[in-house]
Every structure is written in C-alpha cells, then in structure tokens.
C-alpha cells in the first residue's frame, strides 16, 4: 500500500538534486546529514500516507482495476489503513518541522511538507477526478523532491554575485524536473489507458475515456518525443557538457521507439515500465555528466 518503489524514486531524486547542486553533506557548504535524512523520511511518510489514503478512497474502482491490493483482498482493514495514513501525515509534517528546528533554515522544510501534504490530500479528494489535470498533478508531485532542493537554503552563498545563484540552480535542476514532469505525465496517460475498462465500469472519467484512446495515445507519444527533442537544450545553454547528450541519446532514443511500439500494440503496462526506465536513464546521465 505504501508503494516502496515510489518512495525509493523520491529519495533518489532528492539526493540527485542536491548532488547536481554540489550541496550534498559530503560537499563543503552542503546541507547537513540530518537535513537530508529528515527530508528523505518526510517524502517516505508523505508518499506512504497519500497512497494509503488513495487506496481507501479508491476502493470501489480498485475492485475492478486492482483486485490484488491489500484493502480489496481483505488483508488490511479500512480502519487500520485510516489510522496509518493519519499517523503518516503527522510524521510528514513532523519531519519538516524537526529539520527546520534543528538546522534553523527559516522553516523552509516545514512549510514545504505542510504544502505537500495539503496538495496530496487535495489530489486524492478532488484533483484526481479532473481528467488530464490529475495526470499533470501526479507529474508535478514527482518533481517535488527537486523543487525542495531548489528552494532549500544551503551553506552556499546564493547572492547575485555567487557562482550558484537561483538562476544557475534552476539551470542545473530543470532538466531533471522536465524528465520527471513530462515523462510522468506520459506514464500516467498510459496508466489510464490500461485502466480504461475498469474506470468506465466504475464511472471514473479519465482523459482516454473523454478524448478517446487514440487521442490519449498520441498525446502520450508526443510528450515522449518532445522530451527526446529537447535533450540538446541543457548542453546548448552551457549547463551540461556534450557527454549528457551522448548518454541520453544512446539510452533514450531506443527507449522512446520501444515506448511508441508498445503503446501502438496496446501493451500499456510495458510502455509505462519503459517510461520509468527512460526517466532513470535521464537522471543517471545528469549525474554522470555533471
């Protein structure tokens, strides 16, 4: 129910973000170890609470689309799941508050995790019922570890004269953000395509059901192609060396082709897996070439 794979992805994204900014605890002027640990725990708690809450509120549709899930199968009671998500939400905010109090960073982490918790509840309650907006919200949520890296104050001087001003931080992080947002949007559309039959029976209106499967499939494919087309941008702007383009070109090109092939064959599950692999390939390319 807590989706451990998603938790690992969030933690990797968080560490990657600070690495790209040269702000890991092992770097002079980087964040403290306790901050990194508390932030990682904050994301773990947030993802766990959001997914458990979502499983409770999606119980009817999961009976059709995800019969193997613990709540549907009866392995976990709704009452126990409800207590778990409330506790995890409290722990999410507590992790941010502890970070702010222990490191004296103007409550940046605390405010961030309060807003993140509010957005996750809003998504589960309202936003996920709005076609396409729900896909884009999930994509934005996947980029939140990088957004925290962007705004979290480090020991590095961040004035206009600094070599790591806010514009440079954005330049170093936006390729990873684009990978997260664009590819997650495509993956979420493929997920809706896979769940189309069950969603229709449950009365859940998704983008493929409203616009039609061919249109949804084309949009997801165009997003993947657009992501591939803008790969040279960070290199052209001088934020990353040519090595980034070489690695992503080698890894991403066949992945995009395979994604489009699987999608056209209506094999949306494999298309989703490949999108996730492509996302990881992009992050690895950023780390290696940084």
Domains recognised in the chain with CATH numbers: 1-156 (1.10.357.140), 160-290 (1.20.120)
Torsion-angle region of 27 (φ positive above 0: left; ψ -120 to 50: alpha; else: beta): beta
pLDDT on residue 76: 80
For residue 158, what pLDDT band results from cuts at 50, 70 and 90?
very low
Q: What's the confidence (pLDDT) of residue 61?
A: 72
The answer to whether 255 touches 278, Cβ cutoff 8 Å, is yes
Per-residue pLDDT tens for 64-88? 667 777 787 778 888 888 999 999 9
pLDDT in tens, 111-128: 999 999 999 999 999 998
Q: Work out the pLDDT band at 162, boundaries 50, 70, 90.
A: very low
Does the model's pTM come out above 0.95?
no
Nearest Cα neighbor of 191 from 246, 114, 268 is 268
- Whether 93 shows a pLDDT value over 50: the answer reads yes
DSSP string, 35-56: HHHHHHHHHHHHHHHHHHHHHH
- What is the distance in angstroms between the CA of the first residue and the CA of the last residue of the chain? 35
Range 196-204 average pLDDT:
78
Q: Can you give the pLDDT at residue 161?
A: 42
pLDDT at 160: 41
């Amino acid at each position: 129910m807590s989706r451990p794979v998603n938790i690992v992805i969030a933690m990797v994204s968080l560490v990657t973000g600070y690495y790209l900014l040269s702000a890991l605890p092992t770097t002079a002027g980087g964040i403290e170890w306790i901050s990194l640990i508390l932030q990682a725990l904050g994301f773990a708690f947030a993802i766990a609470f959001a997914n458990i809450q979502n499983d409770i509120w999606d119980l009817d549709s999961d009976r059709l689309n995800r019969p193997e899930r613990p709540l549907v199968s009866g392995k976990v009671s709704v009452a126990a799941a409800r207590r778990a998500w409330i506790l995890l939400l409290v722990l999410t905010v507590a992790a941010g508050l502890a970070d702010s109090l222990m490191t004296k960073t103007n409550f940046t982490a605390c405010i961030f995790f309060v807003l993140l918790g509010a957005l996750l509840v809003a998504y589960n309650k309202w936003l996920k019922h709005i076609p396409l907006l729900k896909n884009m919200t999930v994509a934005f949520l996947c980029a939140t570890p990088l957004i925290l890296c962007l705004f979290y104050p480090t020991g590095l001087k961040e004035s206009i004269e600094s070599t790591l001003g806010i514009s440079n931080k954005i330049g170093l992080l936006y390729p990873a953000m684009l990978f997260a947002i664009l590819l997650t949007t495509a993956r979420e559309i493929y997920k809706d395509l896979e769940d189309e039959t069950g969603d229709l029976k449950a009365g859940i209106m998704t983008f493929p059901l409203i616009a039609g499967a061919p249109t949804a499939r084309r949009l997801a494919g165009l997003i993947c192609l657009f992501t591939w087309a803008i790969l040279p941008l960070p290199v052209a702007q001088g934020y990353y060396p040519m090595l980034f383009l070489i690695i992503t070109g080698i890894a991403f090109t066949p992945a995009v082709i395979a994604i489009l092939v699987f999608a056209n064959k209506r094999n949306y599950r494999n298309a989703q897996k490949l999108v996730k692999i492509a996302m990881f390939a992009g992050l690895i390319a950023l780390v290696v070439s940084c």
